[in-house]
């Protein structure tokens, strides 16, 4: 697969990360790499530490040990604004949209970091800031077209069905033109049709914009179809890492998912 | 039901006094009624101004800022203190506004940031702490006397169509209305306004798109400080700058319950309803029970609202999915 997929060098590298909350260990000594333009899936049973790993990568959680290398910089801890500024965008497991705002406004917030004009100009909303706003608006309309959500442009997102909310959330992440897009269970709670749509958008994003994607997903069919490379976590530890077919056949993975007879 | 004629007559008399006579009065003397209503509206705008400060902070940080009243007092004290030292009005206004920005920065640094992601009740308690600090600090610096405040807004009484109106009240209403319009537009149409609404909705999501929480909080608390300053000028001019200014925060509570904690238009409409409601109740129903309805009518109204429409007139409806 790799020869046709044009996968590049390492974009993100987490090395030997350990994270605990008080006495509870969430992640123990996990290392993983995500390379440019690939789709990397992080899978594992509930409580395996997948979301914690995402939170470490974008700086919500600060690990006690290990390093995070992104864009050539080695850090002990990431910070949310550094992550956002460096080009990491993400979605959340339980959709974290700004529910009172329209679809358009939600996606516009994703452009926040791209708006460079002076704070005062923005406050007054005149002159250069006005022009800038229009340019960003154009980009956002492009994303809205791409995700086929033109019809709900002005609808407050709180009123949208779950599947569409997930799509808007993806739109907000895309608006930041991320280098690395982290998706936390993008297909959770969706019906088959919605899942197919979401798969298509993820693949198209990867294809058209060359965005590197790290995703957490439970649907094995989806994971095996989409990803170039799969990392399996269980009880906070990495138990497998490789191309989908190899991971699928791995005995440790099968044990983790199906349980293992204790004899 | 009414065995004795006398008791029946008495009941009718009471009902008559409550449900008929006040309305007869309103219709027979429309000019006086209008004067009462306008007076209520003008007071209402002043309530709205105080409530607005609450709404701003609640919208952006989900914190019920108990210290808003103390900020009104502190801003007014600073202004009046400077003016008594001989600083010209315009300069004193700028300095007082600057002081409110400093207060905002300090609050963000020392109170909000260490408490980020704590339960709301903790932040609420922290704002009670801020209240005591601001009150105490203000009095230490500027003394606890009642100060007279006059920033040069004309204060003459005049007559329109038989109604007696006060020029200062008109000014206060106009300034209040202008501020409200400005803030509503600011929230709706600017990048910062959008960021503010985003932070209000979801801190984590806002962080993940790179909205600087710190800056947003400072902006909001500063703006709430400015609103407090304006409210302080209005109330201070009316009743002197004194400790009781801090207590008008309590008058803003029923306004917020009526209008909804998250709605700027709600703060306005709520303020107007409370202002008119208590004046009308005082004049027309007050004498029945010996007056002084004005002091508690607002809270009764708020209580009724809590029973039937807890989210307020414009608040977001609270729906729990089970």
- From A191-200, B88-97, B241-250, B267-276, the region with the lowest mean pLDDT: B241-250
What CATH number does the domain located at A1-87+178-263 have? Answer: 3.40.50.300
The percentage of chain B sitting over the pLDDT mark of 90, rounded to a whole number, equals: 17
Q: Is residue B322 part of a domain?
A: no
Residue A126 predicted with pLDDT over 70: no
- Structurally, chain B folds into a number of domains equal to 1
A58, A100, A123 ranked by CB distance to B197: nearest: A100
Average pLDDT over chain A, rounded to an integer: 87
Q: Which of A96, A134, A181, A189 to mutate to test the interface with B (most CBs of B within 10 A)?
A: A96
pLDDT digits (tens, 9 = 90+) for B267-292: 888 999 999 999 898 888 888 887 77
ipTM of the complex, rounded to two decimals? 0.76
* Residue B175 binned pLDDT confidence (cut-offs 50, 70, 90): confident
Q: Is residue B317 part of a domain?
A: no
Q: Which chain B residues are closer than 8 Å to A109 by Cβ?
A: 194-195, 198, 206, 209, 211
* Residue A231 binned pLDDT confidence (cut-offs 50, 70, 90): very high
Structural domain including B241 reads: 29-308
* Residue A65 binned pLDDT confidence (cut-offs 50, 70, 90): very high
Residue A1 has a pLDDT of 46
* Residue B126 binned pLDDT confidence (cut-offs 50, 70, 90): very high
What is the CB neighbour count within 10 angstroms for residue A230? Answer: 26
Q: Is residue B201 less than 8 Å (CB to CB) from chain A?
A: yes
CATH number at residue B81: 1.10.3470
The percentage of chain A sitting over the pLDDT mark of 90, rounded to a whole number, equals: 44
**Locate tokens 């202004």: which residue?**
B79
Q: Which chain A residues are closer than 8 Å to B198 by Cβ?
A: 98, 101, 109
B195, B205, B212 ranked by CB distance to A97: nearest: B205
Q: Are B204 and A92 inside 8 Å of each other by CB? A: yes
Q: CA–CA separation, B148 vs B157, rounded Å?
A: 19
Residue A132: closest C-alpha in chain B: B191
Residue B295 has a pLDDT of 81
Q: Are B197 and A98 inside 8 Å of each other by CB? A: yes
* Residue B241 binned pLDDT confidence (cut-offs 50, 70, 90): confident
Residue A39 has a pLDDT of 93
Q: Which chain A residues are closer than 8 Å to B210 by Cβ?
A: 80-81, 84-85, 112-113, 176
Residue A2 has a pLDDT of 46
Beta bridge partners of A257: none
First and final C-alpha spacing in chain B: 48
A166 versus B150: the higher-pLDDT residue is A166
Q: Which chain B residues are closer than 8 Å to A98 by Cβ?
A: 197-198, 200-202, 205-206
pLDDT digits (tens, 9 = 90+) for A129-164: 777 788 888 999 999 999 999 999 899 998 898 889
The percentage of chain A sitting over the pLDDT mark of 70, rounded to a whole number, equals: 93
pLDDT digits (tens, 9 = 90+) for A70-108: 988 889 988 888 888 889 999 998 888 888 889 998 999
* Residue B3 binned pLDDT confidence (cut-offs 50, 70, 90): low
Q: Are B210 and A101 inside 8 Å of each other by CB? A: no
Residue A118 has a pLDDT of 55
Residue B2 predicted with pLDDT over 60: no
Helix (H) or strand (E) holding B165: strand B163-166
pLDDT digits (tens, 9 = 90+) for B137-174: 988 888 888 888 888 888 788 887 777 788 888 888 88
Q: Is residue B212 less than 8 Å (CB to CB) from chain A?
A: yes
Report yes or no: B251 and B271 within 8 Å, Cβ to Cβ.
Answer: no
A119 versus A93: the higher-pLDDT residue is A93
Q: Which residues of A touch B (CB under 8 A)?
A: 58, 60, 80-81, 83-85, 89-90, 92, 96-101, 105, 108-110, 112-113, 115, 119, 122-125, 129, 133, 172-173, 176
Q: Name which of B270, B34, B285 is nearest B165 in CA terms.
A: B34
Q: Is residue B82 part of a domain?
A: yes
B18 versus B105: the higher-pLDDT residue is B105
Residue A120 predicted with pLDDT over 80: no
* Residue A3 binned pLDDT confidence (cut-offs 50, 70, 90): very low
Q: CA–CA separation, B228 vs B205, rounded Å?
A: 30
Instruction: Read off the pLDDT of each residue in B120-144 and give the average, rounded to a whole number.
Output: 89
Domain ranges for chain A, please list them.
1-87+178-263, 100-172
* Residue A46 binned pLDDT confidence (cut-offs 50, 70, 90): confident
pLDDT digits (tens, 9 = 90+) for B13-36: 888 888 888 888 888 888 888 888
Instruction: Read off the pLDDT of each residue in A49-56 and give the average, rounded to a whole number.
Output: 92
Q: Is residue B4 part of a domain?
A: no
Q: Are A97 and B190 inside 8 Å of each other by CB? A: no
A119 versus A91: the higher-pLDDT residue is A91
Task: List CB contacts of A144: < 8 A, sequence separation 6 or more.
Answer: A103, A104, A107, A150, A153, A171
A127 versus A141: the higher-pLDDT residue is A141
Residue A103 has a pLDDT of 93
Q: Is residue B319 less than 8 Å (CB to CB) from chain A?
A: no
Q: Which chain B residues are closer than 8 Å to A60 by Cβ?
A: 204, 207
Q: Is residue B10 part of a domain?
A: no
pTM of the model: 0.75
> SS in 3 state form for chain A?
CHHHHCCCCEEEEEEEEEEEECCEEEEEEEEEEEECCCEEEEECCCCCCHHHHHHHHCCCCCCCEEEEEECCEEECCCCHHHHHHHCEEECCCCCCCCCCCEHHHHHHHCCHHHCCCCHHHHHHCCHHHHHHHHHHHHHHHHHHHHCCCHHHCCCEHHHCCHHHHHHHHHHHHHHCCCCEEEEECCCCCCCHHHHHHHHHHHHHHHHHHCCEEEEECCCHHHHHHHCCEEEEEECCEEEEEECHHHHHHCHHHHHHHHCCCCC
* Residue B321 binned pLDDT confidence (cut-offs 50, 70, 90): low
A4 versus A32: the higher-pLDDT residue is A32
Instruction: Read off the pLDDT of each residue in A195-224 and give the average, rounded to a whole number.
Output: 90
Q: Is residue B113 less than 8 Å (CB to CB) from chain A?
A: no
pLDDT digits (tens, 9 = 90+) for B297-317: 889 888 988 888 887 787 666
């Amino acid at each position: 697969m790799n020869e046709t997929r044009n996968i590049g060098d390492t974009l993100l590298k987490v090395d030997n990360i350990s994270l605990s909350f008080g006495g509870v260990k969430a992640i123990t000594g996990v290392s993983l790499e995500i390379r440019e333009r690939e789709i990397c899936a992080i899978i594992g049973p509930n409580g395996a530490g997948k979301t914690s790993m995402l939170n470490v990568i974008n700086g919500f959680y600060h690990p006690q040990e290990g390093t995070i290398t992104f864009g050539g910089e080695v850090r002990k801890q990431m910070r949310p604004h550094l992550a956002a500024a460096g080009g990491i965008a993400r979605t959340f497991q339980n959709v974290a949209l700004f529910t009172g705002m329209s679809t358009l406004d939600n996606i516009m917030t994703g452009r926040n970091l791209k708006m460079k004009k002076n704070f005062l100009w923005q406050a007054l909303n005149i002159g250069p800031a006005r022009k800038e706003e229009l340019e960003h608006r154009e980009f956002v309309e492009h994303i809205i077209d791409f995700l086929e959500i033109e019809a709900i442009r002005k609808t407050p997102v709180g009123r949208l069905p779950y599947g569409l909310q997930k799509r808007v959330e993806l739109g907000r992440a895309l608006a930041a033109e991320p280098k690395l897009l982290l998706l936390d269970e993008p297909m959770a709670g969706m019906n088959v049709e919605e899942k197919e749509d979401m798969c298509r958008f993820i693949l198209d994003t990867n294809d058209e914009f060359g965005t590197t994607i790290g995703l957490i997903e439970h649907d094995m069919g989806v994971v095996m179809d989409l990803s170039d490379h799969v990392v399996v976590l269980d009880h906070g530890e990495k138990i497998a890492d490789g191309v989908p077919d190899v991971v699928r056949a791995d005995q440790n993975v099968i044990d983790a998912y199906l349980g293992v007879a204790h004899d | 039901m009414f065995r004795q004629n006398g008791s029946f007559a008495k009941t009718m008399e009471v009902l008559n006094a409550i449900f008929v006579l006040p309305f007869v009065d309103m219709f027979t003397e429309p000019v006086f009624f209008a004067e009462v209503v306008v007076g209520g509206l003008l007071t209402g705008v002043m309530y709205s101004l105080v409530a607005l400060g609450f709404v701003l902070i609640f919208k952006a940080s989900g914190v019920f800022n108990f210290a808003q009243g103390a900020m009104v007092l502190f801003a007014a004290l600073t202004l009046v203190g400077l003016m008594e030292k001989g600083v010209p009005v315009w300069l004193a206004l700028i300095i007082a506004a600057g002081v409110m920005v400093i207060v905002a920065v300090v609050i963000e640094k020392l109170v909000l940031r260490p408490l980020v992601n704590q339960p709301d009740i903790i932040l609420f308690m922290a704002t009670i702490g801020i209240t005591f600090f601001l009150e105490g600090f203000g009095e230490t610096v500027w003394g606890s006397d009642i100060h007279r405040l006059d920033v040069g807004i004309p204060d003459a009484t005049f007559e329109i169509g038989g109604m007696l109106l006060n020029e200062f009240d008109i000014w206060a209403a106009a300034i209040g209305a202008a501020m409200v319009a400005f803030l509503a537009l600011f929230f709706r149409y600017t990048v910062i306004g959008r960021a503010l609404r985003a932070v209000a909705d979801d801190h984590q999501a806002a962080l993940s798109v790179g909205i600087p929480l710190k800056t947003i909080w400072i902006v909001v608390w500063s703006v709430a400080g400015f609103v407090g300053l304006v409210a302080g000028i209005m109330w201070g001019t009316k009743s002197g700058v004194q400790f009781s200014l801090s207590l008008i925060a309590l008058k803003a509570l029923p306004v917020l319950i009526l209008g909804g904690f998250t709605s700027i238009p709600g703060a306005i409409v709520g303020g107007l309803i409370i202002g008119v409601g208590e004046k009308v109740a005082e004049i027309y129903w007050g004498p029945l029970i010996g007056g002084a309805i004005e002091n508690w009518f607002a809270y009764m109204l708020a209580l009724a609202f809590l029973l039937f429409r807890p989210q307020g007139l414009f608040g977001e409806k609270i729906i729990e999915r089970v």
